[in-house]
Amino acid sequence: MEAQLIGQVPIVVFDTETTGLSPLSYVVELGCIKLVGGRLVDTMSSLVKPPVPIPPKVVRVHGIDDTMVKDAPPFRIVAWRFRRFVEGAILVGHNTPFDLKVLSINHQRLGLPLLSNPVLDTRSISIRHFPELMDHSLKYLTHAWRSPFKGCHRALVDAKHTAFIFMGMMRKIGLREDDKVGELFSLFGPPDSMLHYQARWEELGRRDSRVGRLLAAVRDKRSLEIFYDGGFIRGRRYISPLSLFSTGKVHYLKALCPLEGRVKTFRIDRITYIRLLKEGAM
């Protein structure tokens, strides 16, 4: 890709809205626009039905409530649409480490393959190349670069703001459509990737017996007794492990707690004891 001309490679500018500010949040909206040669050629936007209610304090930010997403497709369907839409593209977003962590975890929870597209972040570009600006938030940059689009905190319009800012940054720096992608990465990168926000589980399992035992329990569909020291949530749990996922630095276990009839998430570094239960013990 780096040897190709910038004008020949699709650039997809994307944004997400979520159930909260944690990387463990669920996606409730995904919006993106596709540029080729600096021209808009396609858009994709979808609400997403999360498996949990959207908290009122988050609704006050983006305006998306439970009634709006009750008939929306689940993340699994939207994720495959997104994968097809961004095939062969450079991704661009604002404050992308958050979006990439959320997207990575939402993929990992469902066992979906992660995207390998290179990702550029307009916030990082702004801090690096435009340090004279008072702020580097999307709200501030929208005004500083005089984006013509109205509204904020919805995925598609924020993607439009970000695209306008990104193209303005390219022009200001002097990048042109007939420059090579490698030069774009050199000036605006290095590019990030969703792949950076996952764990090398087999390697981790060899170094940490706790991870190895959890991996085996997921693979063999075996139930466990664990002791979890999560501060306010502390005590013994009987669980059926479902999957492991990670932000790249913090690792999590998703498990069914049969006695409570609920699926819960546990930080693996806070599991202090693991015992394999006999078949049918729960």
Residue 74 has pLDDT above 80, yes or no: yes
Pairing of strands 119-121, 90-93: parallel
Q: What angle do CA 199, 278, 240 make, to 5 degrees?
A: 40
Give residue-wise pLDDT tens across range 17-29: 999 999 899 999 9
Instruction: Please report the pLDDT score of residue 242 as a whole number.
Output: 92
First to last CA, the chain: 53
Residue 130 has pLDDT above 90, yes or no: yes
What predicted TM-score, i.e. pTM, was given to this entire model? Answer: 0.87
CA dihedral 262, 265, 266, 267 (to 10 degrees): -170
Instruction: Give the residue-averaged pLDDT of 55-61.
Output: 94
Residue 234 has pLDDT above 90, yes or no: no
Pairing of strands 11-18, 90-93: parallel
Give residue-wise pLDDT tens across range 191-221: 999 999 988 888 888 898 999 999 999 999 9
* pLDDT bracket for residue 118 (50, 70, 90): very high
Residue 104 has pLDDT above 90, yes or no: yes
Structure tokens at 93: 């977003």
Residue 274 has pLDDT above 90, yes or no: yes
Which residue in 246, 266, 237 sits closest to 254, CA to CA? 266
Fold adopted by 201-276: SH3 type barrels. (2.30.30)
* pLDDT bracket for residue 280 (50, 70, 90): low
CATH among 3.40.50.2300, 3.30.70.1450, 3.40.50.620, 3.30.420.10 for 6-196: 3.30.420.10
Instruction: Give the residue-averaged pLDDT of 36-58.
Output: 95
Strand order, beta sheet including 262-267: 262-267, 251-257, 233-246, 224-230, 271-276
Instruction: Please report the pLDDT score of residue 77 as a whole number.
Output: 97
Strands of 153-261, DSSP E: 224-230, 233-246, 251-257
Residues with Cβ within 8 Å of 267's Cβ and at least 6 positions away in sequence, in order, are 230, 250, 251, 252, 253
Start and end residues for every CATH 3.30.420.10 domain found in the chain: 6-196
Give residue-wise pLDDT tens across range 165-194: 999 999 999 999 999 999 999 999 899 999
- Report which listed range, 7-11, 174-178, 242-246, is most confident: 7-11
Other CB atoms within 10 A of residue 203 CB = 10
Instruction: Please report the pLDDT score of residue 281 as a whole number.
Output: 58
* pLDDT bracket for residue 282 (50, 70, 90): low
* pLDDT bracket for residue 44 (50, 70, 90): very high
Start and end residues for every CATH 2.30.30 domain found in the chain: 201-276
Q: What backbone phi and psi angles, to 5 degrees, belong to 220? A: -95, 0
Residues with Cβ within 8 Å of 208's Cβ and at least 6 positions away in sequence, in order, are none
Residue 278 has pLDDT above 90, yes or no: no
